[in-house]
Structure 1
Amino acid sequence: MATDELPDRIAEIFNGSTIFITGASGFVGKALIEKLLRLTNLRKIYLLLREKKGKAPVDRMQDIFNNVLYDKIKSLKPHALSKCTAIQGDVSQINLGISQEDREKLKNEVDFIFHSAATTRFDDTLKYAVIMNTRGTMYMLRLAEECKKLKLFVHVSTAYAFPREKILYEKAYEPIADPQQVLSSLNWIKDEAMQEMQDKILGDIPNAYTFSKSLAEALVYEKAGKIPVIIGRPAVASFKLTSSEFINHELATEHVRPSPFAMMDCRLPVFVTFCLLRYPQLKCLSLCLRMHIEIY
């Protein structure tokens, strides 16, 4: 049998499924949405989006789809984008800032969750990084536990979550600190005090981003026996230009540089999902690899 005649087992997993994605406006999120829509016959995608600069979530979703990344799917599957619905919310808010009506909808319909939303700035304050990356993950896991049809919770972490490890293996590690204690401290330590204590709390950890992602992984792993979870640890998200038409168009104007967010093809989240569903004995799997994003 020719290779192009073989069934796409990864795509088949998502056929007829409803997927909930956070971080839809980010680097990985945009590529993930495009690939799922283009290569699978899914039922629906819910995108968690917050209002930003006066733009409603539904308008921000349209802005995402105006990116040239989605030109190919618009020509191949013109109606695919209509499968996406914006859910108003914010991972930095209590219970994700999702309305009860939308929460019930997610609980009853969602099969897969991809949690990619995070702040990735290395200069964020400790409190903000913990609120976004650690507490946000906690609220996502609580929602996942309520989902009646959940097949898998995919957490996008980072290969830099445990900087003390010279070699990062595909296993869970002890967190840098107790995530529950750190989350509890948010309720009683004033912002100024936490800022003053930041260097002492971090110690030899290079930044709040790394610290908060380590705590988030610990929360995910705690749920490994209760819900199906998987942790992906991408190292470097890169891209490659292969379209001369794109290059000529973008570089025709002086001082204009092609954005790595423009067109991309990301395989990591889809691949790790396939791994766990194909091998259900893996309660928790973490992959350490370099994400390579191609522009076709």
Structure 2
Amino acid sequence: MRKYCSVLYDGYYPCFPCLHHPLESELPASVEESAAVDDDNGGIGIFEFFQGKNIFITGATGLLGKALIEKLLRSTSVGKIYLLIKAEDKEAAVDRLRKEDVDVIIESAASTTLNDRYDFLLDINVNAPTVDEVCQNMQNLKLFVHMSTAYVNGRKEGLILEKPLIMGENGRKVEIDDDDDDEMSSSSSSCCSFSRVDLADEISLAMKSLSCQGASHHQDYHVTKNLKRLGLERANIFGWYNTYHLTKAMCEMVLNEIRGDVPVLIIRPSVIESSYKEPFPGWIQGNRMFDPVIISYGKGQLPAFLADPQVNMDIIPIDMS
């Protein structure tokens, strides 16, 4: 007999018998105690930083955006929160943004479909954040926050330092120490030059592929299929696992290129899942991310999953991301 709400399923598949987050067993027992101590000691100054600040947030209706806004309103003394602007056209939106009294910009808008059309992901994840350029004209801007992903590191292995991505860098590039730059620069460039990312070329390639298939058939099944395949092919060439990872890496490159004197904070979480504690345990928006695997496992519909049992799952609760 199959008991989905009990401890075992057919004697093989353990389920969670109590209302706790699946990751709770992997967290240190002192997580809540240490958090309480940090609160008592004032933490690292995040709450104080946001006091009275005016914040502009993109992607406010998304999973991360909703959780972020709830946290800001509940736990900080922010001034005003401005959400994504809607206007008659792009020029009107930019003009309104220039006139806002904004201290902090948090950019969380993105398409997280891993292998969507190459032109769509380039437009949404790379070209869409034009606010990056506008923010340089904001006199009161104290911080620009960009929500990225840990997977911008591509196929690199080992210890990866949190260094900014440089324009042209690829996911296969061998990490070189500063002391070894002169000695290895020539050999490194020769082995990696064939797969250096050129953003202008990639946008041109996607647009040419689209135009060759007929501008009047943008939504055609075969056009969509070919552009999805193109994106995956380009990601594989440059050393990323899918088109989403590639375009998020491109966005970081653009940010690093045009940031100027604006302070930029890039956050790279892994796969974001339901909340551990706030706003309440287990909160999530819809059935997404790793949920299909977890649900299929819990219902006994997934008899096997190819993975290393000694490796921790690369997911993180949304309130810890």
Flag the 1:152–1:191 CA change in 2: closer, same or farther, 3 A. farther
**CA positional deviation for 1:28:** 1.0
Are 1:105 and 2:99 matched, yes or no? yes
Taking the aligned partners of 1:134 and 1:3, their CA distance within structure 2 comes to: 37
Match of 1:221 among 242, 253, 256: 256
The aligned counterpart of 2:194 is none
CA RMSD of aligned residues (A): 3.2
Are 1:180 and 2:204 matched, yes or no? no
The aligned counterpart of 1:149 is 140
Deviations along 1:75-131, one digit per CA (max 9) or x if unpaired, are: xxxxxxxxxxxx2169xxx85x7535522333xx11101110000011311110010
Letter paired with 1:180: A
Letter paired with 1:261: Q
Letter paired with 2:79: R
Taking the aligned partners of 1:191 and 1:208, their CA distance within structure 2 comes to: 20
The aligned counterpart of 2:285 is 261
**CA positional deviation for 1:223:** 3.2
Are 1:115 and 2:107 matched, yes or no? yes
CA contact (8 A) 2:58 2:109 kept: yes
**CA positional deviation for 1:232:** 0.7
Are 1:41 and 2:77 matched, yes or no? yes
Are 1:203 and 2:228 matched, yes or no? no
- Counting aligned pairs with the same residue, the percent is 32
Letter paired with 2:60: A
Taking the aligned partners of 2:201 and 2:87, their CA distance within structure 1 comes to: 26
| TM-score normalised according to structure 1 size | 0.61
Match of 2:318 among 281, 288, 293: 293
CA contact (8 A) 2:231 2:242 kept: no
CA contact (8 A) 1:223 1:229 kept: no
Runs of 4+ aligned residues of structure 1 deviating over 4 Å after TM superposition are 2-5, 184-189, 191-194, 240-243
Taking the aligned partners of 1:103 and 1:23, their CA distance within structure 2 comes to: 16
Letter paired with 1:36: L
Deviations along 1:132-162, one digit per CA (max 9) or x if unpaired, are: 001123x121121121211111111101112
Taking the aligned partners of 1:223 and 1:100, their CA distance within structure 2 comes to: 17
Taking the aligned partners of 1:218 and 1:102, their CA distance within structure 2 comes to: 27
User: Can you give the 5+ residue segments of structure 2 that lack an aligned partner in the other structure?
Assistant: 1-36, 171-196, 214-225, 287-313
User: Can you give the 5+ residue segments of structure 1 that lack an aligned partner in the other structure?
Assistant: 49-86, 248-257, 263-288
Rg larger in structure: 2
Taking the aligned partners of 2:276 and 2:120, their CA distance within structure 1 comes to: 35
Deviations along 1:167-186, one digit per CA (max 9) or x if unpaired, are: 43211234331223334555
Taking the aligned partners of 2:155 and 2:316, their CA distance within structure 1 comes to: 22
Taking the aligned partners of 2:92 and 2:67, their CA distance within structure 1 comes to: 24
Flag the 1:20–1:187 CA change in 2: closer, same or farther, 3 A. same
* Aligned residue runs from structure 1 range 6-85, under 5 A: 6-7=41-42, 9-48=45-84
Q: Secondary structure at the match of 1:231?
A: strand
* Aligned residue runs from structure 1 range 125-164, under 5 A: 125-137=117-129, 139-164=130-155
CA contact (8 A) 1:24 1:47 kept: yes
| TM-score normalised according to structure 2 size | 0.57
Flag the 1:260–1:145 CA change in 2: closer, same or farther, 3 A. same
User: How many residue pairs get matched?
Assistant: 211
Flag the 1:98–1:210 CA change in 2: closer, same or farther, 3 A. farther
Taking the aligned partners of 2:138 and 2:276, their CA distance within structure 1 comes to: 40
